Structure 1
Amino acid sequence: MRLTPLGLDGAILIEVDRIVDARGHFARVFCADELADAGLDVAIVQSSVSFNAKSGTLRGMHWQTEEHAETKYVRCTRGAVYDAIVDLRPQSPSYLRWVSVELSADNQRTLYIPKGFAHGFQTLCDDTEVFYQMTARFAPDAARGARFDDPAFAIEWPAVPRRIMSDKDLGYPDFQA
C-alpha cells in the first residue's frame, strides 16, 4: 500500500500495489499493522455500504459531533465517485479547506478521513457502490450535515445534467463556523 497525504491535515489517499498475473490481480487494501505504523486509526467498529442507482447522486456533506466523531476509510467497490472532504476542526491548519479525489472500482483507492471532517460524494456513473469502514458507531443524535454547495466550503462539484439528492441533504442550513 502507498499512503499519500492530501494537503488537509491527516487526510490520506491509500493506493494499492497490485500483483498481476494471468488470472487477474491481487491487492491488499487494508493492513491494520501497516496503517497503524503510519499513525492511522485502525480501530474499525462498523462497516456500511451505499448503493446508488443513478449517476449524479450526491450524498453529503456529513459528519458526527465530537463525542461520536469517526475516522472513515471509504472505497468505491463498483462504479466511480467524486469524493470530497472538508476539515471542520477549528484548531487545524487546514480548517474549512476541502480536497477531492476520484474513487473507483478500477483504481481501488481508499480515502482515509480523520475525525472532524465532513464527507460527501457524487456518483460518476450508474450502479455505484461505496464501502465505508468507521472507527465509531453511527449515533443518529450526533449526525450533522451541511449542504453540498455551502459557501463556507465552496466545493467544486462535477457538473451533471440532473443531481439526485435527499430532501435532508438539500435542507441543511449554512455551516456555522
Structure 2
Amino acid sequence: MTSITPLSIPEVLLITPKRHGDGRGWFSETWSRRVMAQAGLDHDFVQDNQAFSARAGTVRGLHFQKAPHAQAKLVRVLRGAIFDVAVDIRQGSATYGQWAGARLTAEGGEQILVPRGFAHGYCTLVDNCELFYKVDGQYAPETEGGIIWNDPDLAIDWGFTGEPTLSDKDKVLPRLRDLPAAAF
C-alpha cells in the first residue's frame, strides 16, 4: 500500500510507494491515477523530466512557473539522496513564505508532491544523484521565476555545510520579498 503523509505544509505530500521484493530485487508502482484519486489527488501529468547532478551540495532552485502555466511536480530519486524543498508562494495563503522539506533517497523510494503555487528546489546530499519527476503543466519559460536558495527570510536548512554548486541563473535569483505578486 502506498503511504501518503502530509508534511509541515499539509498540501505538500511525502508519498512512499510500497516495494514488493524477492530474491531477484523489487517492484514498485510509483504512480497510479486510481490510488491517487482515492486519496483525493487528481493530477494529469503531461511531461516527465530527469536530472543528474555530479557533486554533493548541488542546489537547484528554488523554481516555479506562474499562471497560466503553473506546475505541480512529483519528484523521486533514482540514484543517491537529496533534500527536497517546497516553498509556499501563494499570496494570501496561511502558510505563505513557509517551507516544507523531506529527504528523498533511491533506497527508500520516497517521493514528494509539490503542488502548484509553490517554489521547488533540492540539494544533493551525495555525489552522482539522479532524479525523475513528473509535471502537470508544459514548460513555459516566459512564466518561470525563482527565489534565491539562501533567502534569510526562509531560513531553509538544506542539510549540508560548505559552498553549494549553483547555476549562474540560480545565483542571482531574488528574495521572496522582492518577487512581484505571482498569480497562482
Query: Shorter-chain TM-score: which interval?
Result: over 0.9
List runs of 5+ in structure 1 lacking aligned partners: none
CA offset digits 1:22-51 (Å, max 9, x no partner): 112222111011112212232010111111
String of CA shifts for 1:128-158, please: whole Å, max 9, x gaps: 0111100001100111001001123111122
Q: What is the CA–CA distance in structure 1 between the aligned matches of 2:167 and 2:101, rounded to whole Å?
A: 21
Q: Quick check: 1:7 aligned with 2:8?
A: yes
Alignment correspondent of 1:90: 91
Residues 41 and 153 of structure 1: is their aligned pair in 2 closer, same or farther, counting only changes over 3 Å? farther
**CA distance in structure 1 between the partners assigned to 2:86 and 2:171 by the alignment:** 17
CA distance in 2, matches of 1:21, 1:173: 49
Distance 1:162 1:153 in 2: 18
SS in 1 for 2:37: helix
Show the counterpart of 1:113.
114
Checking the alignment, whether the CA contact within 8 Å between 2:77 and 2:132 is kept in structure 1 is yes
Deviation at 1:100, TM superposition (A): 1.1
Secondary structure of the structure 1 residue equivalent to 2:9:
coil
2:119 is aligned with 1:127: no
Check the 8 A contact 1:68/1:136 in 2, yes or no.
Answer: yes
Aligned-CA RMSD value: 1.3
Unaligned stretches of 5+ residues in structure 2: 180-184
1:99 Cα deviation from its structure 2 partner = 1.2
Moved more, 131-140 or 40-49: 40-49
Contact 2:12-2:100 at 8 Å conserved across structures: no
Which deviates more, 133-142 or 14-23? 14-23
1:152, 1:46 → 2: CA distance?
A: 32
Do 1:147 and 1:171's aligned partners in 2 also have CA atoms closer than 8 Å? Answer: yes
Report the counterpart of residue 81 of structure 1 in structure 2.
Answer: 82
* Count of residue pairs brought into register by the alignment: 177
Distance across 1 between alignment mates of 2:139 and 2:153? 25
**How far apart, in 1, do the equivalents of 2:165 and 2:103 lie?**
19
Of the structure 1 ranges 155-164 and 96-105, higher mean CA displacement relative to structure 2 is found in: 155-164
Task: Measure the CA separation in 2 of the matches of 1:7 and 1:125.
Answer: 25
Partner of 2:105: 104
% identical equivalent positions: 38
TM-score (norm 1): 0.95
Matched, 1:174 2:180: no
